[in-house]
Structure 1
Amino acid sequence: MWKSIWAVKATLTKGLCWRVGTGLNTSINGDAWIPNTVNFRLSTMINYMRNVKVNKLIDSNRLWKNELIKDTFAEEDAEIILRIPLARTPHDDFLIWGSESSSEFSVRSAYKLLQSSDENPRAYALQTIYRNFYKKLWTLHLPTKIKITIWRFS
């Protein structure tokens, strides 16, 4: 089981997104923090904001700095950023599972993420390449322990 988790680790981290609290630990360009976007990142990189944290976009009243955001980012990015809700009480930034509307991890959403990914086919290659073989194996009229042994060998 651990080998399987390790094999898909890089792909699963693509499902993680930072939920902005104070913004002190989340990088504008470097981290995934923008919901409903590709890989939860900006559509365009802002070079002069390479090492700037999200907290620079939040004012002392815990509101987004509208003018700064609209002047700095592409229109579509600015609109999405301004729609991100900020908590009234400051809290640390934390990771959520961005591939699910509930923000909670589920095997189903992880499976969908893996199926849509081209980068790590090894992690689920047996499932797609040998699908017909496994279907035939499980329909054979053999004792279950023999089917399981064949499945393990394969």
Structure 2
Amino acid sequence: MKAKYFSHSSFLEAHFESNSSFSWCRILSAQDLIKVGFRWRIGSGSSVRVCRDPWIPKPHSFQPLIRPRQLDSSTMVASLIDIDQGDWDRAIIKECFCPEDSELILAILIVRSNHQDIRLWYYSPTGLYTIEVCTTLI
């Protein structure tokens, strides 16, 4: 199904096509429910878009409020990290985000090695998505 319906994106970015099968339409109908609890855990920040992806520890959107004209939609979280220091670039963060979101972002620990960004399920203690956890949201 990936090759046919979302070969250049993730399941969470897939959308209905006019020629979609009945099975794909049923699977995709659960997409919004799944999106509710997913967020990114930051590793290198190279896979996570600042303005479009859920990544800060702020339920229910997990997205920061961006000050107007500070960042475009393609800016990656990696651009907010000072590589030499191995930590957040505090000046950029305070300039681009509201005070509440700045504090949430600065509280996210940066791993110094080049770890991948990982999707986590917020509503599970393990961070893994399970049907049992999802049914509590229904």
User: Is residue 37 from structure 1 mapped to residue 59 from structure 2 by the alignment?
Assistant: yes
CA distance in 2, matches of 1:104, 1:23: 20
TM-score (normalizing by structure 1): 0.63
Contact 1:28 1:52 in 2 (8 A): yes
Q: 80, 83, 90: which one pairs with 1:57?
A: 80
RMSD of Structure 2 on Structure 1 (CA): 2.3
Deviation at 1:3, TM superposition (A): 7.7
Q: 13, 25, 30: which one pairs with 2:47?
A: 25
The structure with more helix, counted as a fraction of residues: 1
Which 4+ runs in 1 deviate beyond 6 A?
none
CA distance in 1, matches of 2:88, 2:127: 22
Deviation at 1:46, TM superposition (A): 4.5
Can you list the C-alpha shifts for 1:70-127, whole angstroms capped at 9, x where unaligned?
A: 122101100100111111211121211122243122334312333xxxxxxxxxxxxx
CA distance in 2, matches of 1:73, 1:104: 29
CA distance in 2, matches of 1:47, 1:102: 37
User: Is residue 66 from structure 1 mapped to residue 87 from structure 2 by the alignment?
Assistant: no
Identical amino acids, percent of aligned pairs: 27
Deviation at 1:22, TM superposition (A): 0.9
Which residue of structure 1 lines up, in the alignment, with residue 33 of structure 2? 11
CA distance in 2, matches of 1:72, 1:103: 29
Which residue of structure 2 lines up, in the alignment, with residue 146 of structure 1? none
AA at the equivalent of 1:104: L
The higher radius of gyration belongs to: 1
Q: 106, 116, 135: which one pairs with 2:130?
A: 106
Aligned pairs, number: 114
Deviation at 1:38, TM superposition (A): 2.3
CA distance in 2, matches of 1:48, 1:78: 14
User: Is residue 94 from structure 1 mapped to residue 118 from structure 2 by the alignment?
Assistant: yes
